[in-house]
Amino acid sequence: MASPPKTTSILLEHHQQKDTPATILLKSTGRKFVALCVGAALVAGVVAIALTVEGNDRNDKSDSPDVAGAYAAAFASSPPLSVATYASCAELLAGREASSPCPVQSRDTDNAPRRIKEVRGGRCRSRDSWLRGGPVLAEDAAVEDAGGDDFSGTNVQEAGVDEADAVKTSGDFIFKVGAVRGGERSSDGALTDCAYRLSVVEDGADGLTLVASVELEPLVITPEAMFVHGDVLLLYGSAEVTYEDTAASDDYPTYAYCGAGEPATIVLTFDVADPTAPVLLRREIIESSYVSARKVGSYAYLVLAKRTYWADARSSVPFYRSEDAAALAGPINETLMAPAVACDEVVYLNTVSDGLDDFTIVAAIDMADANAETTFAVVAGRAADGAVYASRTSIYLALAEWTAYEGETWTRSVFIKMKLDGARVAFETSFSAPGQLLNQCAMSEAADGSFRAATTSRAVADWWFDTSNNLYVFDADGLGIGSLEGLAPGETIKAVRFTSDRCYLVTFVQTDPLFVISLDNALPRVLGELKIPGFSAYLHPVNATHMLGIGHDADPDTGTERGLQFSLFDVSDELNPRQSAVRIVGDRGSASEALDDAKAFQFWSASDLRATGVSSSPGIFALPAQLASLALAKERGSTDTSVWATGATYYQGTLLFDVALNPLGNVTHLEPGFWDEDDDENNNYWWSYSQKSSLDSGAHITRSMRRGDAVYTFSDNFVSKTSLDGRPIDAAALAANATYSEYDDDGYPYYVW
């Protein structure tokens, strides 16, 4: 079943060259690009740079012109933030009980160690993604973290702050975690069987070789992602834990959910000094759900959330268990979970509600010392909702909240700043701003320690949203020192990028601009804007004068997305930025993981390539893509002629372009004929809803890397090695000798320990 990487024709369309490759690298303004982040969004404006344009004449599209002033009043009326600690476990437990419909069964054993009844997790079911540990939250990125030797590394938001991913490298070895697939292929393209495993591939003199694999189902973990540091690999994922003393659902006649198990994060520490034989050193179980993770130096910081509304209120703090390999062989009923922190170590943040609903947990793990104890910082009151930003010294957790004012509902963002100092993670301050964040990339810390955040303010009344957009600057203590409010009323933020002294902010309603905002002296000020058709969902710097935009073409009248659009922007003249080149690939229905997850994007600069002996390239980028064709859909019988018509998929794999948007090649892991039509019954208006999908095929490419002058691409079942123009060199199959998950008659989707 293993098939080599291939080069195919991909119907590249609508290329408009507006500059010559020879001129791309000749200009410089000396401005350094850092911390580049954007979110997937439908926008028409893409890049704007200007230095001296005063004022802002764009704010004339509001459905409610007074929304900014009303929002300021609503925010001023919001309850102030307060921080406290608890004097006793009883006090903390009382707060939990008051916030939960689940009654405390007994107060005699508050926070006493609890005996595990079973841990569930690790089973993989093809096509039922809601049963699997979902992918790591999309986290857009800007700079590459160094990989092993000359491997290109993970695309991360801040230099020196690694982000966990499913592919990591060390020396000649590539580590990949996730599902492998096998069995029969169904009519929708999916393989019927799957299993979770950690795979180790060596890139040696004999080519690509699968040298080790660790089956994860017996370790009861549904994997999320990992870090590698020296000889240690840290792998984390999800599971569920139930206790011997968990009350049966019959004890909760009104609320059946109260007797359910607790979500748990599983952390596995492997010794990979010999990558051909990974050795499990430790397994940790933390009552929580995964939110995000960062690594600074040797310390991995996991951000976790324990949601308590339906949880058994017997324990008032998150529980934790650490066990070495020997303990894993012991009886399950001898395994105890104990409090991760003492009750008086919990910081309580009172936000909109007085109730104690959830915990946010930051766990610090020293990957340089496998015997070091994991340390925890716990904030009670709300759980981090996925928007997490980290610098080398601080981590910021964003909480989204709603509050009522004069009959309408308003949003605000609460920020928790935690100080990172090795094993010590400490609550530092909290502060808030009107509106909601797009994602982690709407946050940034400047070199002087000030914090910048871009938000969209929303007021909801009678199912109608009034919006405006803002940018706030806070000093290192969380005090507001600058703001710009009321941008583009009626629109919402769709992309944000911070540099050292600029913010690039995209808003959208149908065809709209990217604002260029000066951050000089912490006083945000609009400088200029530029509008073009289509939108970029991800921007990546080429050098000081050019950047790439990855997004979608769009109908200028309706804003409906069409094919993928790649743009090269020349910003050497900051008063007159321009789109040097644009290429549109495929039709509506085309997509790329890189639009939502920048870890899927790779860029290799001219200097990177010169170091490998490639002296003629201005730079190369790679991304996975699924391409669709309206003409092919019509040929197969589709009768949909609306602007929302979706094309027939004809390709999935990695696309390779130089920065002048010249196509270099492409790589697919799919077998020939995978996309061929084989069901005549699908030839009707609704045929697009029953098209094949490559997602669970085992050959759907989601990641790429470069080493020297070779490109490595990754799908569930394969790692392939090609030249920079996509010519095949070698491939390794990852599903060899896999043991696939089995199910009881009821299809219970967990491996039970």
**Higher pLDDT, residue 26 or 639:** 639
Please give the residue range of the domain that contains residue 658: 1-27+534-753
The pLDDT of residue 63 is above 60: no
Report how many domains make up the chain. Answer: 1
Token readout for 377 is: 């910082």
Pairing outcome for strands 347-350 and 375-380: parallel
**Higher pLDDT, residue 664 or 745:** 664
* Phi, psi of 89, deg, nearest 5: -65, -35
CA 444, CA 452: separation in Å to the nearest integer?
A: 5
Within a domain: residue 681? yes
User: Nearest 5 degrees, angle CA 301-CA 148-CA 269?
Assistant: 40
Amino acid at 5: P
Q: Distance from CA of residue 109 to its chain's centroid?
A: 39
Within a domain: residue 686? yes
Q: Write down the pLDDT at residue 666.
A: 96
CA 365, CA 601: separation in Å to the nearest integer?
A: 28
SS3 content of the chain, % helix, strand, coil (to 5): 10, 45, 45
pLDDT tens by residue, 459-503: 765 555 678 889 999 999 999 999 999 888 888 788 788 888 888
Residue 46 pLDDT grade (very low, low, confident, very high; cuts 50, 70, 90): very low
CA 623, CA 324: separation in Å to the nearest integer?
A: 40
pLDDT tens by residue, 620-663: 999 999 999 999 998 888 888 888 899 999 999 999 999 999 99
Within a domain: residue 303? no
Q: Write down the pLDDT at residue 187.
A: 85
Within a domain: residue 405? no
Q: Write down the pLDDT at residue 38.
A: 39
Token readout for 636 is: 């197969």
Q: Write down the pLDDT at residue 640.
A: 85
CA distances from 600 to 39, 261, 625 (A): 14, 34, 10
pLDDT tens by residue, 542-556: 887 787 888 888 888
Stretch 368-392: mean pLDDT = 87
Lowest mean pLDDT among 55-64, 418-427, 612-621, 699-708: 55-64
**Higher pLDDT, residue 228 or 617:** 228
φ/ψ bin of 17: left (φ > 0), alpha (ψ from -120 to 50), beta (otherwise): beta
Q: pTM for this one?
A: 0.85
Stretch 91-114: mean pLDDT = 64
Lowest mean pLDDT among 22-31, 237-246, 440-449, 525-534: 22-31
Residue 730, Cβ density class (10 Å: 0-12 exposed, 13-18 middle, ≥19 buried): middle
Q: Write down the pLDDT at residue 513.
A: 66
The pLDDT of residue 138 is above 50: no
Token readout for 72 is: 């300021």
pLDDT tens by residue, 74-86: 777 776 777 777 7
Side-chain half-sphere exposure of 632, counting CA atoms within 13 A? 21
**Higher pLDDT, residue 491 or 127:** 491
Q: Write down the pLDDT at residue 307.
A: 77
Which range has the top average pLDDT, 433-437, 438-442, 663-667, 677-681? 663-667
Torsion of CA 62, 66, 72, 77, to 10 degrees: -120
Residue 421 is given by DSSP the state: E
Lowest mean pLDDT among 30-39, 159-168, 307-316, 511-520: 30-39
Token readout for 495 is: 């992309």
Residue 60 pLDDT grade (very low, low, confident, very high; cuts 50, 70, 90): very low
% the chain with pLDDT above 90 = 39
**Higher pLDDT, residue 38 or 729:** 729
What is the average pLDDT value for the chain, to the nearest integer? 78
CA 375, CA 360: separation in Å to the nearest integer?
A: 14
pLDDT tens by residue, 168-180: 999 899 999 999 9
The pLDDT of residue 740 is above 90: no
Q: Distance from CA of residue 326 to its chain's centroid?
A: 35
CA 117, CA 306: separation in Å to the nearest integer?
A: 19
Residue pointed to by tokens 């690009």 = 33
Lowest mean pLDDT among 370-379, 432-441, 658-667, 695-704: 432-441
CA 585, CA 564: separation in Å to the nearest integer?
A: 5
CA nearest to 143, candidates 496, 620, 656, 605: 605
**Higher pLDDT, residue 61 or 377:** 377
Within a domain: residue 540? yes
Q: Write down the pLDDT at residue 512.
A: 52
Within a domain: residue 589? yes
Residue 520 is given by DSSP the state: G
pLDDT tens by residue, 678-702: 654 444 545 555 678 999 999 999 9
Residue 76 is given by DSSP the state: H
Stretch 11-16: mean pLDDT = 45
Within a domain: residue 664? yes
Q: Write down the pLDDT at residue 575.
A: 76
CA 240, CA 217: separation in Å to the nearest integer?
A: 13
Residue 445 pLDDT grade (very low, low, confident, very high; cuts 50, 70, 90): very high
Token readout for 600 is: 């899927």
Residue pointed to by tokens 């079973």 = 118
**Higher pLDDT, residue 88 or 389:** 389
Q: Write down the pLDDT at residue 461.
A: 59
Q: Write down the pLDDT at residue 749.
A: 43
pLDDT tens by residue, 193-225: 999 999 999 999 999 999 999 999 888 889 999
Q: Write down the pLDDT at residue 136.
A: 29
Within a domain: residue 397? no
Residues 592, 701 contacting (CB under 8 angstroms):
no
Token readout for 326 is: 């020997």
